[in-house]
Structure 1
């Protein structure tokens, strides 16, 4: 297993990025026929791909197979981090110059690009069979009612836990149904072993709050894009975070390094996170093989089944003004419907393509997790994650929600008052 793909976001001024986008006349649009093939003809053109880390490697593998079917298509690959991709993409979209044929974008960021640059991305509506993909990924790829990207990797979440610490503390994992059950278990684990229950960022991010929102079928924004962080579900989620913190059973995590230290140093008994985190456990804590297992996240009410939660994943988009948009779109379709499991088995890219998730490889047990077929559990969770509306305001909302976490944990402020204040602040900032 390899380590997870990194995720960051920055902005770059237009003048600085124009040099990176190159010069010359604007590239033809998707409607101009550049790179397309007449009906029954052959695809031709050059497709430039922007991506990062293992995602780029996987796209290179897919391109080699694609070229066997379409030798008239050439590929150029550029590896860059997410911040560089977003900075360069922003300014190239503004100028219409130097755009890639295919670009990897985090699913949560697609709404921002699609909304800010209407008409600038290839429309896959009608080309993607939505029933073949996890619902949450279709939501990420949809902007303004159009599929402006193709779903790729997914990130369903569950609770990783240390079986040996649970056993040492006399806690039966099967007894944990609700978050209140987990708090009680955490108290017992801390008393018996001295180990904290889970890492909890107090200033670093709001991920746990977000997972709890999704469990309850809500998010920062409703379907119409209105801010709803003062909802009963939102307040309940933030109240539970405060409860976990005030129970004295959380490990203060304020960086990625803190998380790794918590795992490798046996400082926590649990970690709620996405499927890609399995690679972190296997790589960074190899000496703990056989001591970890996975269960579904606890729910708020024992009698009320929860929705699934997601944290991460990406989509593939095709800028409409790229050199060969039709060839690029055909490549994306080919790569995203390939039934080859090597992207997962060799590069730990967990797919959102349901037919691929039905492959037997996702039902195999992992020695590291005591022989448990954890990916089977994640596949089930993934199909329970409903669409959420990230909107173009997601990045700003995260920063402010993160501050709310700080207020209810470190400052001990009332969650209801904090979320009502956050609602007012976001509405004033976004207009709704």
Structure 2
């Protein structure tokens, strides 16, 4: 081969390699243009949900980062307070109790999702927290619809049938606890005095909160539901009817070890219950106790409440393409896809707030762990009765103060005096936060 031919071959090869390089570069660029980074907590629940959603959007285009909820909150607080969203994800999961604080403090840091979310297709109560000035900023995800998980064998020993458990109000709840304690030696529930989850459940069931409908006006002193809930909570602890624990893990262990015969909590707690495989067939779920007459409860009516729950939010990146990719990801998955929600109902026990998912066969199927009960269908039915409550932007800050109110009641102080005192304390706290 002469020199001219060699030069020609080299030139063609070089051109070919260059073309391949450009093509590969374009492919990478195209792939990168669809990239979405998502932050979520809990590898067995929310993170797994993102991984299932990624299969629909394009697995390699979704980078899901798992971290604790506390870490997510800390990173969001630090970045948003600095005025920069650099280092934050495109999509982040935020708990319903926290989101109003972010939306009101940093409204320009979140993308308006009003055109992504069809409000009519989700549980109505979710929009009290993810909406500001009629703009929807979050895609509702899991329902925190509450249920009364109970050990059928232990409640049977105490003299209660499945039908009995469906017709009990909170006044009668104390008597059930006494019967369980006397007949089985077990506590009915476990409680951590630093966690007011049960108080929240009863308040929302009655359609009230620590603040009024505007999410700002403090409603501690004359809040009948709050007074009732604190009194019931204190009575359970003082009479030894609740297994008093310290920390979330200890509460889970009390249920899994059989120290507590039941739990009144959100549907998502099912993963904790079912983790004890040796208890399969020994559990059932009833609606939470009905409101007592003192709170306007009516006989025969099924009451419902909420505990926890979260939604998906898009952080403004400053890059329109990135923001649009995040919106497209949510639009194809959590905002519309009932098949995805049905899959998650099977895989993680998700009670979706996308109502179309609740009409799938998955929701009608019996669950062997719960003795064949169609738990997803029951939770979905109760979800429709949850009162819509504006949590405001100070729920956790208020609760950090209100745990002191519970301690005062436990120490024997008059509850009316306690609530009057804490009305002033919380008003000052909320005013300082403005």
TM-score for the superposition, normalised by structure 1: 0.83
Distance 2:97 2:243 in 1: 27
Distance 1:105 1:250 in 2: 31
Structure 1: 5+ residue stretches without partners: 1-41
Distance 2:363 2:99 in 1: 28
Q: Contact (CA 8 Å) 2:32, 2:61: kept in 1 or not? A: no
Root-mean-square deviation (CA), in Å? 2.3
The residue number in structure 1 matching 2:429 is 429
1:239 aligns with 2:231: yes
Aligned-residue offset at 1:366: 1.2
Classify the secondary structure of the residue corresponding to 2:386: coil
Bigger radius of gyration? 2
The residue number in structure 1 matching 2:66 is 79
The residue number in structure 2 matching 1:345 is 346
1:217 aligns with 2:207: yes
Classify the secondary structure of the residue corresponding to 1:280: helix
Residue of structure 1 aligned with 2:140, choices 113, 128, 151: 151
Residue of structure 1 aligned with 2:323, choices 293, 311, 325: 325
Change (3 A) 1:84 1:189: closer
Residues 368-408 of structure 1: per-residue CA shift (max 9 Å, x gap): 11111122221112111122222221220121222222222
Aligned-residue offset at 1:217: 0.6
Distance 1:257 1:61 in 2: 27
1:102 aligns with 2:91: yes
Q: Contact (CA 8 Å) 1:200, 1:250: kept in 2 or not? A: yes
Classify the secondary structure of the residue corresponding to 2:150: strand
Question: How do 1:393-412 residues align onto structure 2 when only pairs under 5 Å count?
Answer: 393-409=394-410, 411-412=411-412
Classify the secondary structure of the residue corresponding to 2:271: helix
The residue number in structure 1 matching 2:362 is 361
Structure 2: 5+ residue stretches without partners: 1-30
Q: Contact (CA 8 Å) 1:189, 1:197: kept in 2 or not? A: yes
Question: How do 1:362-381 residues align onto structure 2 when only pairs under 5 Å count?
Answer: 362-381=363-382
Classify the secondary structure of the residue corresponding to 2:416: helix
Aligned-residue offset at 1:86: 2.1
The residue number in structure 2 matching 1:282 is 274
Compare the two structures and name the one with the higher helix fraction. Answer: 2
Classify the secondary structure of the residue corresponding to 1:128: coil
TM-score for the superposition, normalised by structure 2: 0.82
Aligned-residue offset at 1:140: 2.4
Question: How do 1:6-405 residues align onto structure 2 when only pairs under 5 Å count?
Answer: 44-52=33-41, 53=43, 54-67=45-58, 74-93=61-80, 94-175=83-164, 176-202=167-193, 204-224=194-214, 225-230=216-221, 231-283=223-275, 285-299=276-290, 300-301=292-293, 303=298, 305=301, 307-323=303-319, 324-336=322-334, 337-340=336-339, 341-405=342-406
